Structure 1
Amino acid sequence: METLGIDSENLLWSKLKTDYADLFDNLIDRSRFNRRRRRLSPMIERVQHHVAERLDQLSQTMIVDSIPVPVVKLAREKSFKSFKSDFETAPAKGYSAVNKSWYIGYKLHVIIYDNGVIQQADITKANVHDINFLKEINHLPEQKFLLGDRAYISQAVQINLFDHYEVKLKVPFRHNQHHYRKYPKKNRSKRQMIETVFAQLCDHLNLRRNYARSFPGLAARLASKLSAVSLLQFINFKNGLKISKIKHALCF
């Protein structure tokens, strides 16, 4: 469903019943499918982690960034009821510097390799600062470089990542910092890959157009989208194609 860019389970069920009726003669109920997918969310995430481990040796450089995941229109800030069953996972109001606007929802934090392969991801509330994702990270491949923007400037985090994983975090200097040095052009060029991945998630996999009404439902959908990207990347790898061209993966 995700790899084909179908964002509606209604549409998926219609296609299964018409185009693939002989393959799914005992199709379960759609609501039961939803419940199963939420329960299987950890297994779906393992698909993405398994692909990352298989393709780990193809790159020495990783990139970290976050993307807004709005779930409620700003006009309904005081009246919405979705996602509020648990305070710990309820959405929050945050600011998107890229879009220069406020939104209500979450942030998807992603670490990728510079060839586009997703290494890992996590979801936080929209008002959580990006640096907190790296503070709470509990696993990274060792002896790699990690590129981030100015939101990840933290000497304590740089030291912690190097002590635990021998990962060197490289971020641009602020202009008023002591010993200011210009950010290398090759690092800026490599960081463009995460914008490509975000564009693919929003365009091909409809990241911002989801119909979840609870945090577990949203988490399951996002896990499915990330695993779908990883599977398409792995198909490209096996077929000798450029890994990041996921739209071409199913053409063979």
Structure 2
Amino acid sequence: MNHLIQNYEIILKTLAEFPIIYTPYLQIRRPKLSNMECIALGLTSEFMSIDSENQLFRMLKGTNLEYKIDRSVFNRRRKMLFLLTEQVRQHIANILNETEQFFIVDSIPLDICKMSRASRSTVCREYLETAPSKGFCASQNRWFYRYKIHTVISASGTVQHFDMTCGAVHDVHFLKDVQAEMRDCTIIGDKGYIAPPQQLDLFRTVNIQLEVPMRANQHNYNPPPHIIRKTRKRIETFFSQLCAQFMIQRNFSKSFNGFKTRILNKITATTIIQFLKKTVFQRNINNLKINIA
């Protein structure tokens, strides 16, 4: 309990230092918990691997936050603060990646349910355009029913840009989002991003050089340099941290808005902890399991 409040106060103090306008929550009565405090509480719970709101509010009993907000109200407000949370994440990422020139792109699948229950599952299916879909995972050689998180991180390990699609969308289509958000850099991808037209378009329009390894059956095959293979391991380690510490593969949400809010809070939590490690504690930003309090 003490660690929860201590971590919360550190994250809240950090959020207050950013030049971001936390627009007041529009309701008749003024809430006891401000928007900034609500975001800080959500980020703290994700950092401490508390992905159950029931468990979070059990831990808040006996603290100064116990009577400031109800669990259901906190759940609704966190969804409404989605855009503001993304603004916070993007601001921190721009600070950490200000001098970065090399980035890595990859995707991670997030299962909604087992394939045997896919036909009768109602999770995240309130709207057809945002519903999950079936797809095939070549690396695991199996079919799935899930979403995909497409991510671009810097060589140092900070997420610069990410997006979520249904499972049937190919990784190459994410490059259109990258073209709109980034420019003047080098991005390293895996064999799934081999697409000469898209690579040429990225270079011509926004001066992005997309480096992907050749397939073994291609003409004039050359194995990728060691530095490329070593750099790509950074995003694999990041995905492992999301799965192990932040439990991104576990889903308790029933709606798409709740699902995407949880994903954003987990990624934002990793970003703000990396910021604290670099600016306050002067530690390796990728050692995320160390307590900040």
- TM-score (structure 2 length as normaliser): 0.81
Asked if the contact 2:57–2:66 (Cα under 8 Å) also holds between the matched residues in 1, the reply is: no
- Post-superposition Cα deviations, 1:113-135, rounded to whole Å, max 9, x if no partner, equal 11111111100000100001113
1:125 aligns to 2:166 (yes or no): yes
Partner of 1:240: 282
Asked whether the 8 Å contact 1:140–1:165 carries over to 2, the reply is no
Q: Paired residue for 1:9, among 53, 67, 86?
A: 53
Name the SS for the 1:146 alignment partner: strand
SS in 1 for 2:104: strand
- Gaps (5+ residues) in structure 1? none
Aligned partners of 1:140 and 1:181: how far apart in 2?
Answer: 31
Match of 1:105 in 2: 146
Shift of 1:138: 4.5
Tell me what 2:88 maps to: 47
SS at match of 1:187: helix
One-letter amino acid of the structure 1 residue matched with residue 287 of structure 2: K
Cα distance between partner residues in 2 of 1:100 and 1:16: 44
1:72 to 101, 110, 113: 113
- What SS class does the counterpart of residue 246 from structure 1 fall into? coil
Asked whether the 8 Å contact 1:116–1:244 carries over to 2, the reply is yes
Matched length: 248
Residue 84 of structure 1, CA deviation: 1.5
Contact kept? 2:114, 2:145, Cα under 8 Å: yes
Q: CA RMSD in A?
A: 1.5
Q: 2:133 matched to 1:89? A: no
Give structure 2 stretches of 5+ with no counterpart: 1-44
> What is the CA-CA distance between 1:57 and the residue it aligns to?
3.1
1:242 to 1:139, Cα distance in 2 relative to 1, 3 A: farther
Cα deviation for residue 12 of structure 1 reads 0.2
Q: Work out whether 1:153 is the aligned partner of 2:197.
A: no
Higher relative contact order (CA 8 A, sep 6+): 1
1:174 to 215, 234, 239: 215
Residues 251 and 32 of structure 1: is their aligned pair in 2 closer, same or farther, counting only changes over 3 Å?
Answer: closer
| Match among 185, 188, 206 for residue 144 of structure 1 | 185
Contact 2:108 2:150 in 1 (8 A): yes
Q: How far apart, in 1, do the equivalents of 2:145 and 2:232 lie?
A: 27
Measured after TM superposition, the shift of residue 6 of structure 1 is 0.7
**Equivalent residues of 1:111, 1:118 under 8 A apart:** yes
Identity of aligned residues (%): 37
Q: Deviations over 1:180-211 (max 9, x none)?
A: 22211110000000011000100000001120
Cα separation, partners in 2 of 1:50 and 1:224, compared to 1, 3 Å? same
Partner amino acid for 1:234?
F
User: Larger deviation: 133-142 or 40-49?
Assistant: 133-142
**SS of equivalent residue, structure 1 residue 228:** helix
Q: 1:125-155, CA deviations, whole angstroms, 9 ceiling, x for partnerless residues?
A: 0010000111343534432110000110111
TM-score (ref. length: structure 1): 0.93
1:229 aligns with 2:262: no
Alpha-carbon offset, residue 100 of structure 1? 2.8
1:93-127 Cα distance to aligned partner (Å, 9 max, x none): 12223333222110000000111111111000001
* Match status 1:208 vs 2:252: no
SS at structure 1 position matched to 2:119: coil
